[in-house]
Each structure stands twice: as C-alpha cells, then as structure tokens.
Amino acid sequence: MKISDLISGYEKFKDTKFKKYENKFLDLVKNGQNPKVLFIACSDSRVDPSLITLSAPGDLFVLRNVGNFVPPFAPDNDYHATAAGIEYAVSVLEVTDIIVCGHSHCGAIETMYTKITDINLVHVKKWLELGLEAKNYVTQKLISQSVSHEERLELTEKISLLFQSKNLLSYPDVQRRVNEGELFIRSWYYRLDTGELEYFNTESGEFEPMSSSSEF
C-alpha cells in the first residue's frame, strides 16, 4: 500500500464510515472515552484488534508493541510507553478487562531464536529480553522432546502470553483491582492463517477455541 492509497482511503472513510459513526464520535468528544477493555497486541501489521473483534470507536483502549510484551513495573525516571498506557487504562479509565493478544508467525518470537547482528537494532535487542523467560521455559520443557521448529515457536508464542500476564500483576493498581475482583486479565492467541482465536482457560490450563459459549 502506497501513501496515495492511504490518502484515497481517508477520503472514502470521511465520506462513508465517519458518517456512519458520526454521532458516536460526537458523543465521544462531548463525554470522553469510556472503554472497558485494554487490548495489548503486537505491532505486526497483520494483527488488527478492531478488525478481529468488530469493535467500534471508543470500545477498546489499544496498546501495541513488538511482540505484545508487558514490561514489569519499574518506578524509575525513564520513559515507559507501554507501562504508562497500562497505568492510564487501569487507574484512570478503570477498565474491567485486560487482554494480552499474541499471534501465530510472530516475528518477535522467532527472532529470539536467532542472533541479532545488526548493530542498528539496539532497542529491538533489549526489548526482546522481555520474551526470554518464555523462551527459556519452552526450551527446558522440550529439552528431551523432538518437535519441529514451528511447534516450538507456537508454544513460545502462547507461553509468552502467560508470562506477560504475570508481569501485569507487578503493577500495584492492577494487582489491587484483580484481588478485589474488579479487573480480569485474559490471554488470547490469534491465528493469522485461519482467523481463529483461542483463549487460555485457567481451569484446564490449555488454550481453547474462542466461542460465544466460552467460559470466563
């Protein structure tokens, strides 16, 4: 897609979709946003939270980064974009659910199994350390098993979601609201090739197909 395509798309949006949601936008401007869901997804261009969930403007507070990682709480004087978004969603917007959504064929996860030699990727290299706990867990779990590289990557993609969810609990307000039953953390896994969505069932300890009858 070229820049000219984006501009053409904008023109169509202004003439059609904006008009469809015009009253919704005006209400959001007048009364402010009030999303109930924080959706943490990967920056991968193939993953679109609003498209996957058919959500409307104002429904989701979305954070996207490489690998859908959640850095642990670190109250220092550095810049923390993802952490700031989490704090704002939980403490100001008071969302009731946090979804950490990973996906198949994730470049971030695959890169963790290779050596980064490009000296220009210093920030990428550091950021991917947030996935090492999952990689090490999977490597240890599969140490005596013969599995394909693809199976290893998929398991790492899924296990990473659980470690990222654990990192969420390092944020004081997240932990407090979870303990009080006001906030729920969910792990979802999206398959790029089939459009299927899976969720982690805490009772079975497995990722299971998502449906309207899924137990939460």
Q: How far is CA 188 from CA 17, 35, 98, 157, 212, in A?
A: 28, 19, 10, 11, 14
- The answer to whether 105 is a known ligand-binding residue is no
Residue in the block written with tokens 């991917």: 128
Give me Rg for the CA atoms of the chain: 19
3-state helix, strand, coil in the chain (%, to 5): 45, 15, 40
User: Would you give the distance in Å from CA 85 to the centre of its chain?
Assistant: 12
- The answer to whether 103 is a known ligand-binding residue is yes
- The answer to whether 123 is a known ligand-binding residue is no
- The answer to whether 101 is a known ligand-binding residue is no
DSSP calls for 161-214: HHHHHHHHTTSHHHHHHHHTTS-EEEEEEE-TTT--EEEEETTTTEEEE--TT-
Q: Please, what is the end-to-end C-alpha distance for the chain in angstroms? A: 39
CB 22 within 8 A of CB 57: no
Write out the binding residues.
42, 44, 103, 106
Write out the binding residues for Zn(2+).
42, 44, 103, 106
